[in-house]
Structure 1
Amino acid sequence: MSEREQPWSDDPVRQGRILVLTDNPIARSIAVIASTVGRTVVVEAADDGGPGLHPQSGDAVVLCDHDAPDAPAVLRAALASEASYVAMMASRRRAAGLLEDLVAEGVDVSTLHVPAGHDLGGKGPGEIALSVVAEIVAESYGRTGGPMRG
């Protein structure tokens, strides 16, 4: 009898935290999905950045509210940190003004994921969160997140 091959590893996954700014339906869905895949999630409920997210090496930072009063400061700090992934929930059009301001200040926004997530076509908070968590997981393994068939 041959041994069955399992498509997963039982080895513990050691990845950075997922830091999410502003408690809203997408943030809560990110927390559920990311927790399910074994990631530690910190949701900062205060839309002014609260006490601060303090990203560390390997962390992912997701700004779920581009209209948050402290959005520019959060992005500035995250992009200057050792976070491995920094993203903002916003359309390119809605993000344009904020990005222009950051670039004018000399902030390098080349690594900012905006809009956050993979293009899955989802519209609901859970579907959007799934696309963001999928992008974070793919990036953490150096993958693009495309189809496995090929």
Structure 2
Amino acid sequence: MSERQRPWSDDGVEHGRILVLSDNPIARALAAIASTVGRTVVVEPADDGGPGLDPRPGDAVVLCDHDAPDAPAVLRAALASEAAYVAMMASRRRAAGLVEELVAEGVDVSTLHVPAGHDLGGRTPGEIALSVVAEIVAESHGRPGGPMRG
């Protein structure tokens, strides 16, 4: 069977972890979906950042609670790290203040995905999590996402 005919591959492609702050319905749905697609997920339940997510090269960092007390510090550290993907769950309007604060501190937010995920129109925790996992998978393969049809 040619590579073109193979619909999927179970070849051992290594991906970074998905680090999630904090524990809420979206984070739990994200962990379930990401685990299903073979990603390692670490959910930090403490909304103050706990012991720290400590992103490594290739990791994805998803802030599921933009109101968490340590949100600015978590984003600051993630954006300064070698994480491959940094995102925050929030509308552009709700995230604006936090992003402005980071910019005022001199933090480069050009790689920050806010709002996190692809625009699928979902409203439930599972649908929102699906859009975020889809974006992480697309980014990890250097793809923009979107329909495969031409």
TM-score range, shorter chain: over 0.9
Partner AA of 1:33 in structure 2:
I
AA paired with 1:145?
Answer: G
Tell me, in whole angstroms, the C-alpha distance in 1 between the residues paired with 2:39 and 2:102: 29
Map 1:138-149 onto structure 2 (within 5 A). 138-149=138-149
Residue 23 of structure 1, CA deviation: 0.2
Equivalence map 1:101-116=2 (5 Å): 101-116=101-116
For residues 43-83 of structure 1, give each alpha carbon's deviation from its aligned partner in whole angstroms, at most 9, with x where no partner exists: 00000000000000000000000000000000000000000
1:47 correspondence with 2:47 = yes
State the alpha-carbon separation in 1 of the partners of residues 30 and 14 from structure 2. 18
Question: Does the CA-based 8 Å contact 1:25-1:125 persist in structure 2?
Answer: yes
Q: Is the 8 A contact 1:62 1:88 kept in 2?
A: yes
Letter in 1 for 2:22: T
Structure-2 residue corresponding to 1:11: 11
- Separation of aligned partners in 1, 2:142 and 2:36: 20
2: CA distance between counterparts of 1:45 and 1:8? 34
- The alignment of Structure 1 onto Structure 2 pairs a total of residues equal to 149
TM-score (norm 1): 0.97
Structure 1 runs (4+) deviating above 4 angstroms are none
Secondary structure, in 3 states, of the residue corresponding to 2:117?
Answer: coil
1:86 aligned residue = 86
Opposite residue 86 of structure 2, the aligned amino acid is V
TM-score, reference length from structure 2? 0.97
Report whether the alignment pairs 1:60 with 2:60.
yes
Residue deviations 1:80-104 (CA, integer Å, cap 9, x gap): 0000000000000000000111000
Unaligned 5+ runs, structure 2: none
Aligned residue runs from structure 1 range 114-125, under 5 A: 114-125=114-125
Equivalent position SS for 1:87:
strand
Partner Cα distance (2:124, 2:10) in 1: 32
Give the conservation status (yes or no) of the 8 Å contact 1:13–1:38: no
Q: CA deviation at 1:113?
A: 0.1
After TM superposition, give the deviation of residue 13 of structure 1 in Å: 2.3
Consecutive unaligned residues of structure 1, counting only runs of 5 or more, are none
